[in-house]
Amino acid sequence: MEKITSHHSGMHCASCTTTITETSKQQVNIETLSARRRLILSWLFTLPIMLWMLLNMLFNTTWPTHFSYKLGMIILAIPVILIAGYPTLKSALRSVLHLSANMDVLIALGALIAYLTSIASLFTPMANYAGIAAMIMAFNLTGKYIEEKAQGRTSQALEKLLALGAKTARILVDHQEKEVELNQVKIGDIMLIRPGEKIPTDGVIVQGKSSIDESLATGESMPITKTIDDKVIGATINQQGLLQVKATKIGQGTFLSQVIKMVEECQSTKVPIQAFADKVTNYFVPAVLIIAALTLLGWLLFPKPLHQMLVYAETWMPWVNPQLSYISLAIVATVAVLVIACPCALGLATPTALMVGTGIGAENGILIRSGSAIQTIKEIHTVVFDKTGTLTTGKLEVTDVINVANHETTEILRLAASTEIGSEHPLGKAIVRAAQNKNITLTPPQQFTAIISKGVKASIDNKEILIGNKKLDPQLNTNVMQQIQRLEDEAKTVILVIAEKQTIGVIGLADTVKKEAKETIAQLSNMGIQTVMLTGDNEQTAQAIAKQAGINKVLAELLPAQKVTAIQKLQKNEGLIAMVGDGINDAPALTQADVGIAIGTGTDIAIEASDITLVRGDLLAVVTAIQLSRAIFRTIKQNLYWAYGYNVLAIPIACLGLLHPLIAEIAMAISSISVITNANLLRRHPFHK
């Protein structure tokens, strides 16, 4: 067979999509790596500072000398403030130029002022705040790295989607079969697809008939029979016959490329968890600046009464130094306000709760991949469930074996399973598996024959056995028809078992609802959360499954793009939406939803496209995830209140000039311990088990 290896530009988007994906992935990796390097650099110098300060605090000595202690602090703080903290300083400057205030402004202002006064302390009696400046920046960079890592979801989902496609195609050129690279395929080319092969690109069958596994598109486990003039989707799998398919879409127009595009678009629309803190900071930062300005102005306008207070306080506050000039005292008080307004707890408030919370989630089989999900899922109004593999087990099982002609059900199952030995069809496999689970001894079939569009035929114990659909017996009696109708009303696939030209049994198969599905829906309802089911399956089957699970609203027969549209409509009409799914076809909807929750037993692509993964596939973990989310965010708010609370208590002391660096250090230590302790109290929360 001749293999064409030359390339022509503009024939397929695989290479350009790969380039875009790789560029996006590299950018995310660079940002995460950069945050990690800044974190390491900051603590490399801050840890010695903290140890040095600890010696000073415990033994009241500035080893080896007072001057070298001050100078050492200043030198060690330089890499932390100016190198590791450069992006924070840059962000703060940009925010100020745009007349807005964020956490970076507070961090930068506190750290810079503290550092500048430490330089002044070399020549004046002012306190040395260099160590505090470095600690402020280091704790802030720790929080930023944790947030970056949580939000830095790479393009692995897109890489896996690209990997699903065929790499080559066999096309007919002058009646000769040639193997070409996928980017050589042009619209109108006739592709040859053998059983078991992937269909290279979207097209229409021009010759042949087969069963196509379209689970990639629909999420449904049942293959779909396709024949001439039927459309097929690229990357789906031809299971049986030899097909000739005319390519109708290539490049960006293919189904797979559209899925990739949707995932890319949805991944770029997430809300950062730090939005809450930034919102508070928008008010807090200007307030601190105003207080600092008023402090400076107050000391300059009313120095005598304030100085007199220092003289009085000196008797019980030995660190107070009334001997300083009025201007020095004004500067010390102003700087103290700015420094104490930015305790280390602010840098720990969010990431510690995230770390502890995500650890608890992991212990409960819940992997939280996106920090933004914690902020969002607590306010979720509606949870949308995929059907196959999410609400259901995703695997066909024999649910009913019905005797309609005085035969034992065990014998009916034995004959059916013996006929299906070696079958690659999901229905046949399910029947064989059911017999094996009951330890039924099977007989190898003789004279096995496939009956097109109806079923199969074989000789078992010298009896002619037919297994298949209703078309095998057009003369079914009323009793059998009633049994069939009952099973179909329950959304079950019906298989007839015919022995010696007489229907002796009816077998019902279904993708069964998970045992915990109903309880999960009930729990969500008790929490005031609505539930919806989306599926690519038909309306009748969808309604039957939804009824068993306790879901009232069903949207059926949806392709991936239609699922995204459905999610968008729900977001517009209902509010915040969480989507729970497991299949490749769910990836766009998972990313479009405000929170995407993937079943861990599903595909890697769905998992990579989600914010939260339920490792064990237990639907009750959806309830736990929401409970955990609410607890985490509540803790984050409490931590921020703790951090800001110390400011409220300490700022008035700083305004009066009564604050010593030792007090600032103790306040930061206590506030940080409080934040960490409060975060760890999450472990005592009675999450649903």
Rounded average pLDDT over 513-540: 91
| Residue at which a domain ends, from 513, 540, 562 | 513
Q: For 408-420, what is each residue's pLDDT tens digit?
A: 999 999 999 999 9
| Whether residues 185 and 133 fall in one domain | no
Rounded average pLDDT over 624-637: 87
CA distance 120 to 244: 82
| Whether residues 208 and 294 fall in one domain | no
The pLDDT confidence band at residue 46, using thresholds 50, 70 and 90, is: very high
Least confident of 9-18, 281-290, 578-587: 9-18
The pLDDT confidence band at residue 13, using thresholds 50, 70 and 90, is: very low
Do 443 and 460 meet the contact criterion of CB atoms below 8 Å apart? yes
| Whether residues 430 and 502 fall in one domain | yes
| Whether residues 232 and 129 fall in one domain | no
| Whether residues 346 and 431 fall in one domain | no
| Whether residues 25 and 139 fall in one domain | yes
Per-residue pLDDT for 426 more than 50? yes
Q: Which of 104, 189, 213, 386 is catalytic?
A: 386
| Whether residues 236 and 285 fall in one domain | no
| Whether residues 140 and 24 fall in one domain | yes
Q: State both tokens at 294.
A: 């008023």
CA distance 39 to 35: 6
Residue 241 identity (one-letter amino acid): G
Do 544 and 489 meet the contact criterion of CB atoms below 8 Å apart? yes
User: What's the DSSP call for residue 198?
Assistant: B
Residue 626 belongs to a domain: no
Q: Between the CA of residue 14 and those of 161, 187, 352, what are the distances in Å?
A: 11, 15, 42
Rounded average pLDDT over 505-533: 93
| Residue at which a domain ends, from 255, 282, 317 | 255
Does the annotation count 174 as an active-site position?
no
Least confident of 407-411, 481-485, 550-554, 609-613: 609-613
Q: Which residues contact 116 (CB under 8 A, 6 or more apart)?
A: none
What CATH number has the domain bearing residue 236? 2.70.150.10
What is the three-class DSSP state of 452?
A: coil
Pick from 132-136, 152-156, 450-454, 477-481 the range whose average pLDDT is largest: 477-481
Residue 263 belongs to a domain: no
The pLDDT confidence band at residue 639, using thresholds 50, 70 and 90, is: confident
Residue 528 burial by Cβ neighbours in a 10 Å radius (0-12, 13-18, 19+): exposed
Q: Maximum Cα–Cα distance for the chain, whole Å?
A: 116
Residue 665 belongs to a domain: yes
Full residue range of the structural domain in which residue 652 is found: 18-153+272-352+634-684
Confidence at residue 4, expressed as pLDDT on a 0 to 100 scale: 38
| Whether residues 199 and 222 fall in one domain | yes
Per-residue pLDDT for 642 more than 90? no
| Residue at which a domain ends, from 513, 542, 570 | 513
| Whether residues 220 and 89 fall in one domain | no
**Residue 24 CB-half CA count within 13 A:** 19
Q: State both tokens at 660.
A: 């010593």
Q: What are phi and psi of 510, to 5 degrees?
A: -155, 155
Residue 488 identity (one-letter amino acid): E
Residue 107 burial by Cβ neighbours in a 10 Å radius (0-12, 13-18, 19+): buried
Residue 552 belongs to a domain: no
Confidence at residue 664, expressed as pLDDT on a 0 to 100 scale: 61
Confidence at residue 18, expressed as pLDDT on a 0 to 100 scale: 45
Domain count, the chain: 3
| Percent of the chain predicted with pLDDT > 90 | 36
Please indicate whether residue 277 or residue 2 has the higher confidence score (pLDDT): 277
What is the three-class DSSP state of 381?
A: coil
What CATH number has the domain bearing residue 474? 3.40.1110.10
Please indicate whether residue 220 or residue 42 has the higher confidence score (pLDDT): 42
Least Cα distance to 158 among 14, 9, 254 occurs for: 14
Confidence at residue 221, expressed as pLDDT on a 0 to 100 scale: 63
Residue 346 belongs to a domain: yes
Least confident of 294-298, 396-400, 522-526: 396-400
What is the three-class DSSP state of 269?
A: coil
Residue 189 belongs to a domain: yes
CA distance 124 to 423: 90
Residue 246 belongs to a domain: yes
Residue 48 belongs to a domain: yes
Q: For 233-288, what is each residue's pLDDT tens digit?
A: 888 889 888 999 999 998 877 877 766 665 555 455 444 555 666 676 678 788 88
Pick from 280-284, 438-442, 537-541, 634-638 the range whose average pLDDT is largest: 438-442
Residue 44 burial by Cβ neighbours in a 10 Å radius (0-12, 13-18, 19+): middle
Residue 30 burial by Cβ neighbours in a 10 Å radius (0-12, 13-18, 19+): exposed
- Say how far residue 268 (Cα) sits from the centre of its chain: 13
| Whether residues 132 and 24 fall in one domain | yes
Q: Which residues contact 534 (CB under 8 A, 6 or more apart)?
A: 384, 385, 386, 387, 555, 558, 563, 566, 567, 579, 589
Per-residue pLDDT for 687 more than 70? no
| Whether residues 328 and 190 fall in one domain | no
What's the whole-number average pLDDT of the chain? 82
